[in-house]
Structure 1
């Protein structure tokens, strides 16, 4: 398949996890990929793409910094003549503290990266995409943005904002032929969640990972990347303003262990 032949694609948080899997997959299907990450891991991903015969350029950015996002967009312009697709995937977890133990500065940083980052991707990416005749923006949200029980207060609030941002952006881009959707992963083995996976496996409890969803397992990044590519492709030409959940069925009930106020969950 070559769904992205000749298309210019920016992927943020592309140095690992879902972003890396998506960048590699976009390139394998003919895309010209800007591999953006806050670490130098993006350079290794771009090199791997080139070694496989694909086209990629790496850039080190902070996805929540407006100047950095503009630099990434400018690289797409200079290297590939414009921009057709953005996968705004970069994010941070913010830990697992409850509301009362969470520092305000931490919430601010989580919102800056997880919510302002996608906002900036839309603000600076959508006009470029529209100028090329249309395309797609995919934002990484989370099942934690749907309801409680799947993430910390800071992370959950940021991802709820991403889901709403996709809907608002889709409406405000009416007539532009630019589609905006949110991808909502469940438990996925990425750089962010690897400590959880490693801890469970080291304790001999790897089989309990993802046990609350009907498939009874966590996801691999490639499983999420495939859905991101679908949303970015012409196959999803009539999908717009939606939150697409990929969680093994977890959110069909979202079971949780509840914590009483002032007590520790057991």
Structure 2
């Protein structure tokens, strides 16, 4: 018998990374899974590989109608809805507050925080009738600490932590639990997506990122999608029946204290990693890097001379190393 025998789960962002690993594990443990994503090619392929207990649907979670359709499919196809894992995400636009386009800010909040709210809103009536249910949402270490994600991404992830607490208190009387997971450095395609490279390039970059991600936290390896899937399984199973309103950090100890990294060595690892990508993706990442340098240079004029000089010298050393590789 599986831990999730007889359960029906809906997972957004299910075509890749964390969502794909969780879909696979939930089905192995006996669940029926509705896999929602916008990456149709991989979503359909994965659902087919997982067999009759998996079904894929194209769903853009920034659209309320798509979320409603996905929830309806779960009930129509499998007869109930026991677990909703709101996992779909994007990295969001980088830059400081003054640089972020308002429409991109709104889009990121819609994909993360608003989508989690809507998944709850439209699933709650079903779960109330059943007298049970479980919500799980992907937050992030960026929701706890500054500097671990883009601004709209981090704000959204912090909002998810509070939404989880509110939902837990409001819904507990109906037998419905709500929890979240805060991943640390997990080797997924989100890093490549943040740089604007191709979907295949982002997946390739996820593998290449493992070495870089292994150096920053107490447990010296990169986090894997399977680490989050295992945590998700625990939080939606009866083993956690007395846990609600919590955000479980799965970060290898990252939030307990970062391991200091030499920025020049980090730059060297980054350059070596870029060399293994396709030329077009290399070009995109180089252009993004140059845009960042240009913005930094523009802001230097507002700094005190001593600080400005120190930053310029460091940038010159790093540029020289890039040219030498």
User: TM-score, length-normalised on structure 2?
Assistant: 0.74
What CA distance in whole angstroms lies between the structure 1 residues aligned with 2:239 and 2:175? 14
What CA distance in whole angstroms lies between the structure 1 residues aligned with 2:258 and 2:60? 32
Correspondent of 1:128 among 126, 129, 133:
126
What CA distance in whole angstroms lies between the structure 2 residues aligned with 1:238 and 1:96? 38
2:234 pairs with 1:236: no
What CA distance in whole angstroms lies between the structure 1 residues aligned with 2:253 and 2:80? 38
Correspondent of 2:98 among 84, 97, 100:
100
Match of 1:218 in 2: 222
1:193 offset after TM fit, Å? Answer: 2.4
Match of 1:45 in 2: 46
Match of 2:17 in 1: 17
1:80 offset after TM fit, Å? Answer: 0.7
Match of 1:248 in 2: 252
CA contact (8 A) 1:200 1:209 kept: no
- 1:179 is paired with a residue of what secondary structure? strand
What CA distance in whole angstroms lies between the structure 2 residues aligned with 1:135 and 1:110? 27
CA contact (8 A) 1:142 1:185 kept: yes
1:129 offset after TM fit, Å? Answer: 2.0
2:36 pairs with 1:36: yes
2:175 pairs with 1:183: no
Structure 1: segments with no counterpart, 5+ residues: none
1:49 offset after TM fit, Å? Answer: 0.5
1:201 offset after TM fit, Å? Answer: 8.0
Identify if the C-alpha distance between structure 1 residues 49 and 70 changes in structure 2 by more than 3 Å, giving closer, same or farther: same
Q: How many residues align?
A: 260
What CA distance in whole angstroms lies between the structure 2 residues aligned with 1:180 and 1:78? 24
1:200 offset after TM fit, Å? Answer: 9.7
Match of 1:3 in 2: 3
What CA distance in whole angstroms lies between the structure 2 residues aligned with 1:191 and 1:201? 9
More helix by share: 2
- 1:173 is paired with a residue of what secondary structure? helix
- Bigger mean CA deviation after superposition, 36-45 or 219-228: 36-45
User: TM-score, length-normalised on structure 1?
Assistant: 0.90
RMSD: 2.5
1:216 offset after TM fit, Å? Answer: 2.4
Runs in 1 of length 4+ with deviation above 4 angstroms? Answer: 194-202, 254-257, 263-266
What CA distance in whole angstroms lies between the structure 2 residues aligned with 1:133 and 1:73? 17
What CA distance in whole angstroms lies between the structure 1 residues aligned with 2:130 and 2:123? 11
What CA distance in whole angstroms lies between the structure 2 residues aligned with 1:199 and 1:182? 26
1:95 offset after TM fit, Å? Answer: 3.6
Structure 2: segments with no counterpart, 5+ residues: 196-201, 262-295, 301-307, 315-325
Identify if the C-alpha distance between structure 1 residues 107 and 254 changes in structure 2 by more than 3 Å, giving closer, same or farther: farther
CA contact (8 A) 2:93 2:105 kept: no
1:98 offset after TM fit, Å? Answer: 2.2
CA contact (8 A) 1:17 1:191 kept: yes
What CA distance in whole angstroms lies between the structure 1 residues aligned with 2:206 and 2:81? 41
